[in-house]
Amino acid sequence: MIGEKLHKIKLSNILFLDIETVPLYSNFNELSPTMQELWDKKSKRLQTDTNQAAEVYKNAGIFAEFGKIICISVAYAKQQNSTLNLRVTSFAGDNEHQLLSDFIELVSKHFNKEQHYLCAHNGKEFDFPFIARRLLVNNLPIPANIDTRGIKPWDVKHLDTLDLWRFGDYKNYTSLKLLAEIFGIPSPKDDIDGSVVHEYFWEHNDLPRIVNYCQKDVIAVVQLFQKYRGETPVADENITIISK
């Protein structure tokens, strides 16, 4: 059913996205005593004999309770005559409340209809719930197509390029980099990857590099989705990066 439906969705009705997250603070010592204790409990599965709570705090960005979003890159397609054009833009910065406000304004204005979808790689397990949780923390409304609480699974308008690759097999995670490689898509991980985003944000203060990486990711998600449908991925010359 979903395979057949996939080909019926207009690419222009999909908002593709990717997020980058970091720990709320630059180091463990900046947490309050209560939050340090709670992080110690939350991070037990990450800890080893030599790496305790403080040492694994660099991984706190994977948890919405201890991390924040510093970049959301989005891509959307526009058909002009016989040419498919892709527009890419990013909401980024240290002010999470502002970037989330700007993001949901875009979603609410332009991707709020019944025919609209959101798509990300591993979005169902990471990007979509992370965004929803951080919206709550920032006291911001959750757009209807992000809020999945109480919604029947078949009514949720979320597409996931990892989920679509699984074909019901949930034993393993397959990275975007691996899928890009086997489908002949330019690697989005040719500079940095998610494991060092916290370092480039907190230590190097290099947000532009993180934004560039995030934008490459979302372009790869679009091209992978097109490959799943047997289509030729959008050409580089038809991709426009829109600066905010």
- pLDDT digit string, tens, across residues 163-204: 999 998 888 899 999 999 999 998 766 677 788 899 999 999
Give the span between the Cα atoms of 51 and 234, in whole angstroms: 44
Local confidence band at 209 (pLDDT 50, 70, 90 cut-offs): very high
> What amino acid occupies position 120?
A
Q: Which of 108, 97, 99, 106 is nearest to 143 (CA)?
A: 108
Domain at 2-24+66-242: CATH code:
3.30.420.10
> What amino acid occupies position 99?
L
- pLDDT digit string, tens, across residues 43-77: 999 999 888 999 999 999 999 999 999 999 999 99
Q: Is the model's pLDDT at 80 over the cut of 90?
A: no
Annotated domain spans of the chain: 2-24+66-242
Output the 3-class SS for the chain: CHHHHHCCCCHHHEEEEEEEEEECCCCHHHCCHHHHHHHHHHCHHHCCCCCCCCHHHHHHHHCCCCEEEEEEEEEEEEEECCEEEEEEEEEECCCHHHHHHHHHHHHHHHCCCCCCEEEECCHHHHHHHHHHHHHHHCCCCCCCCCCCCCCCHHHCCEEEHHHHHHCCCCCCCCCHHHHHHHCCCCCCCCCCCHHHHHHHHHCCCCHHHHHHHHHHHHHHHHHHHHHHCCCCCCCHHHEEEECC
